Structure 1
Amino acid sequence: EEYLLKQNFVDFDDLLLLSNLILENDINFAKEQSLLYNYITVDEYQDTNTLQYKILKNLCCMHENITVVGDDDQSIYSWRGAKIENILNFQNDFKNVKLVKLEQNYRSVGTILQAANNLISHNEQRLGKTLICTKDTGENIKILKNENEKDEGLYIAQEVKKLLNSGVEAKEIAILFRVNALSRAIEEAFMKKQISYKLLSGMRFYERLEIKDLISYLRLILNPSDDLSFKRIINRPKRSIGEKALKNLEEYAKKRQISLFDALCESDGGVGILTTKKAQNEANIFIQNIHTLKSYDNAKKVFDNIEELFKIKDYFSEQDDGDERIRNLDEFYANLREKLKEDPKASLEDLLSEISLLSDQDNLDEECVCLMSIHASKGLEFDYVFIIGFDEGFFPLNSEENLEEERRLAYVGITRAKKFLTISVANSRFYHGSRANINPSRFLEESKLINEKSKNQNIQKTSFCKGDLVKHKIFGIGRVVEVNKSGKEEKLNINFGGIMRVIMASFVEKAV
C-alpha cells in the first residue's frame, strides 16, 4: 500500500474500493455520475461482488435504466467474493424489472441437457429455468467405473488416442476436474501415450512450485553436488540465508572448487560465510537432515521421514493457496509410495529418473487436448468432454464447501460438452496422502445417470443430534458438537480427537 501511494498507483481492488468510497461519501457526485449514463448494462451479473453491487446502485441513483445478463446456475466464484444474492435479489433491488429467460440451448445434445436440468433442479437458491434442446437427443452419457486413478488415466488416454486416430481434432477434446491434483494421473498417462496436451489456467503437475521444490529436495539427497537444487531449496522453508549470504557461499565454493553443499559442510555450517548465528544453526540442521536422509538404504524411508525433517507441507500451508498445494504434495507422496508398492526394489534414483522423463517432455504441438479445472472451463465448449473424479469427497468437496455451489459447478462442467460426455468415477483414490475407498458422487443420482441401487452408496438419511458419535472414512470416529441446516442437508460440526471439522451429514454415518 505504501508503494502504491508513493507511486500514485492503484491496483484492481483499489479501483473498486476507492470508487465506492467516493460515491458513498458524496451523494452529489454520485448523482452527477448517474446522469452521465442513460443506460447501464452488466454482463456475468452472477459473478459480481458486494462492492460492484454498491457501485451499480449508486450509478443508478438518478434512474433505474439497468440491464443485467447472467445465469444464477453458473455462479461458481463465491471463493473470490462473488455473491449469488445479487442476481437472485435483482427484482427486489430495482423497480419494474422485466425478467427474460433465455432457455433455448444451441450447444449441447438432449441427453446432456437433460442431465444438467435434473441436477440443478436440486438447488433451492435459484431463479429457475429449464434448458430446451435445439439439437438431436444424442448419445447417452457414458459412466466410467475405474479401480483407481491410474486405471482412470490409462483408460481415458486410450479413449482419447482412439478419438485422435479417428480424425477428431485435439482441440475438441477436454478433460475436466474439480481438484487440480487429479490432473497428475491423466498427465502421466498422456505422456506415456505421447498425447499432446495443455493445462489451461494452471501449471502442469510436475511444474508446480511445491512439486519442483520437493523434487529438488530429493535430488539433493541423492546428489549433494546438485547446486541448482541446493539454491532452489536452501531457503525454503526460511533459514535466514539471504541473497548476500548465498553469494558469499558461492564465492567460497568457487574458490575451493567444490559444491555449495560441500562448502556449507566444510565451513562448519557457514561459519565465516553466513552473517548470523541463527543462519549458521539453521544451516547445520539442514546439513544434518540431508545426511540423515542420504544414509537410508531405501527410498521408502526417505519418503517417510523427509516431511518430518524439513516441514515442507507446513511451509506451504501458510500461503494463501496452501490447501491446494498441500493436496498436490499429498498426491506426489502417495504416487511415489504407490510406485514403490509396484516395484519395492526401486531406488530413489530410479524414481527420480522416471519423474525427469515425465517432466522434461516438451509440448510444442499447437493441436493439444485441453486439461483444466471446471472453474477454468466456464465459457468454453468442446465436442468431447471427460469429467474425472466424480466421487464423494472430490465432487462435491468435503465439509466447508457449499453444496449448492458445488452442484452449480457440476452443472457448468456437464454443459461444456456439445456432443459426447464421459463421467469417470473410481473405487479408490489418494486422499490426504493415503489411499481411501470412495463412493460415486451423489450428483450422478441427482442427474438421473444412475439410480440408488447402482450407486452403491449409503447416504445417511437419519438426522443427527448434538453428542452423536459418527464415523468418517478418513477422519475416523468423532462426536457431533453442533448441527446446522444447509439447504436440504445438515452441516455438522464434529470433534475428531480435538480437531474440529465442518462436514456435510451425508459424508458420515452413525458410529453406534
Structure 2
Amino acid sequence: MSFFLLFLKKITGLSIQVKLIYKNQGYVKAICMSDLDEDTNIYSVLLNELKTFEPYDNVAIIARTNGELNEIAQLLENEKIPYILNNEKSISEYPGIFECFELLKYLIYENDLALFNFISSPLSNLGTEDIEILLKNKKEVLSYINFSQDNNFIHSLENKKVINFLNKIIDIKKNFKNFKVQNLIYEIIKKFQFLDYFSKENEVKNIYDFYLLTNSYLSVLDLLNDYNENKLVLADLNSSKKGIELVTIHKSKGLEFKTTFVIKNDKKSKSSDIDFLFEMN
C-alpha cells in the first residue's frame, strides 16, 4: 500500500490540529477540523492554505463526491482562483447545453417530448400557467410549429411571448438544414439568447466550449449520436487551461500532482467521524 493510502487510512485517528509527516523531499500536512475553532470553516482553511501556491501550477484538490467538488468550484470562482473541474459530469447536466440538445433532438428526430422540454426551459421565460396551457393543447401547438398552420388556439393566446417563442422555433426548423453544425449551434445560442439566461461565468464558459467542440462535426446526427452515447466531454477542451485541478478520489489518488489537497467534509456523516483537510507535497 502506498504512503498516500496508508496515511488516508490512519487519518481518522489523528487527535492534533496539525501534524507533519516527512518522506524524502515531500511532506503531508493534516488539519483536523474537530481541533479548530467551531467558527472555522473547512473551505476558509483551504483558501488560506492555497495562498502559498499561486499561480497554482500542478496543484490539485481531491474530494470524495462530485457535490463537494462543485462547492469547491463555486468557492474558487468567487475568489477568482482558476480551476479545472474534472468531475466526470455528463454533458447533459450542464445548463444551456441540455436545452440545446433538446431542440436538436426535436429538429432531427421530431421528438415531441424534447420539444416540450425545450419550451419548458428557462429560455422561453414562460410561466407555469402558460406552459400548462401549451401542454393541454399539444396537438394544436405541434400543428402550428410543424406545418405553420394557424388555428383557433394560437389566435386565442393572450401572452404574445408564447407566440414569439414558438415562431423562433419555427424559423429554426425551416432553416436548420442550411447551416453547418457549428453555425447552427451559434444561431440557436443567439436566437434564443442563451447567454441572458445562463449568464454565470462557468455557464458561459461551458456553452462556449460546447460551441467549439461542435466544429469537428459534419452533421447534427453525428453530434446527437455521440451525445446519446455519452461521448461528449467538455473537460477534454480544458486540457490547455491552467488552474487547480478538481477531481474525485475515485478518479485520482493525487500522486501525479506536485501538491495535492484532500478534503473530507461529509455533512451527513456520523458525529464520531472526523472531517479533515490534508496537503501532500
Which range, TM-score by smaller chain? 0.5 to 0.7
Structure 1, unpaired ranges of 5+: 1-99, 125-142, 144-170, 188-202, 341-345, 361-372, 374-387, 397-409, 425-446, 449-512
- Higher relative contact order, structure no. (Cα contacts within 8 Å, ≥ 6 residues apart): 2
Matched, 1:232 2:114: no
> Following superposition of structure 1 onto structure 2, how do residues 259-338 of structure 1 map, counting pairs within 5 Å?
261-262=145-146, 265-267=148-150, 271-292=154-175, 294-317=176-199, 322-337=200-215
CA distance in 2, matches of 1:212, 1:261: 21
SS in 2 for 1:209: coil
Match of 1:354 in 2: 226
Q: CA separation in 2, counterparts of 1:273 and 1:252?
A: 12
Can you list the C-alpha shifts for 1:404-444, whole angstroms capped at 9, x where unaligned?
xxxxxx7x98x9999761149xxxxxxxxxxxxxxxxxxxx
Structure-1 separation of matches of 2:252 and 2:159 = 62
1:227 is displaced (CA, Å) by 1.5
- 2:242 corresponds to which of 394, 398, 419: 394
| Among candidates 84, 99, 103, match of residue 179 of structure 1 | 84
Mapped to 2, the partners of 1:104 and 1:276 lie a distance apart of 66
Deviation at 1:289, TM superposition (A): 3.4
Q: How does 1:155-166 map to 2 (within 5 A)?
A: none
Q: Which has the larger radius of gyration?
A: 1
Q: SS at the partner of 2:155?
A: coil
Relative to structure 1, the CA distance from residue 103 to residue 389 in structure 2 (aligned partners, 3 Å threshold; closer, same or farther) is farther
Partner of 1:421: 255
Q: 1:216-269: CA deviations, max 9, x gaps? A: 12222324x322221122254454644444344344444x69568337x32369
Structure 1 residue 296: deviation in Å?
A: 1.4
Matched, 1:104 2:20: yes
- Contact kept? 2:146, 2:170, Cα under 8 Å: no
Alignment of 1:182-201 (within 5 A): 182-183=86-87, 187=88
Counterpart of 2:187, as a letter, is N
- In structure 2, the CA distance between the partners of 1:242 and 1:272, relative to structure 1 (3 Å rule), is farther
Q: Is the 8 A contact 1:269 1:284 kept in 2?
A: no
Q: CA deviation at 1:357?
A: 0.9
Match of 2:104 in 1: 218
Q: Is the 8 A contact 1:221 1:290 kept in 2?
A: yes
State the distance in 2 between where 1:269 and 1:285 align.
20
Partner of 2:255, secondary structure, is: strand
TM-score by length of 1: 0.31
Counterpart amino acid of 1:179?
I
Q: Deviations over 1:51-103 (max 9, x none)?
A: xxxxxxxxxxxxxxxxxxxxxxxxxxxxxxxxxxxxxxxxxxxxxxxxx8623
**SS, match of residue 178 in structure 2:** coil
Instruction: Give 1:351 shift.
Output: 1.1
Residue 327 of structure 1 aligns with an amino acid whose one-letter code is K
Q: Distance in 1 between matches of 2:151 and 2:92?
A: 34
CA contact under 8 A between 2:145 and 2:169: conserved in structure 1?
no
- Report the identity percentage: 18
Q: Distance in 1 between matches of 2:119 and 2:191?
A: 14
Total equivalences in the alignment: 198
Q: Give, in angstroms, the shift of residue 395 of structure 1.
A: 1.0
Distance 1:281 1:417 in 2: 46
Change in 2 beyond 3 A, CA 1:270/1:290: farther
* Higher helix proportion (structure 1 or 2): 2
- Aligned to 1:113, the other structure's residue is in SS state strand
Residues 298, 272 of structure 1: CA spacing in aligned structure 2 closer, same or farther, 3 A cutoff?
same
Query: Is 2:44 the counterpart of 1:113?
Result: no
Could you report, residue by residue, the CA deviation over 1:333-364 in whole angstroms, capped at 9, with x for unpaired residues?
22222x33xxxxx310111011101179xxxx
Structure 1 pair 110–205 and aligned structure 2 pair: CA distance change class (3 A): farther
Q: Equivalents in 1 of 2:252, 2:160: separation in Å? A: 63
Alignment of 1:9-20 (within 5 A): none
Cα distance change on mapping 1:269 and 1:242 into 2, 3 Å: farther
Residues 122 and 332 of structure 1, relative CA distance in 2, 3 Å threshold: closer
AA aligned to 2:206 is: N
List gaps (5 residues or longer) in structure 2. 1-15, 31-48, 59-63, 74-82, 259-279
Aligned-partner Cα distance in 2 for 1:238–1:417: 34
Q: In the alignment, residue 210 of structure 2 is paired with which amino acid?
A: F
Amino acid at match of 1:312: F
CA contact (8 A) 2:96 2:207 kept: yes
Query: Which residue of the partner structure matches residue 123 of structure 1?
Result: 52
For residue 331 of structure 1, report the CA deviation from its aligned partner: 2.1
SS in 1 for 2:52: coil
Shift of 1:299: 1.7
8 A Cα contact 1:248 1:273, kept in partner: no
* Partner of residue 5, structure 2: none
Distance 1:323 1:114, change over 3 A: same
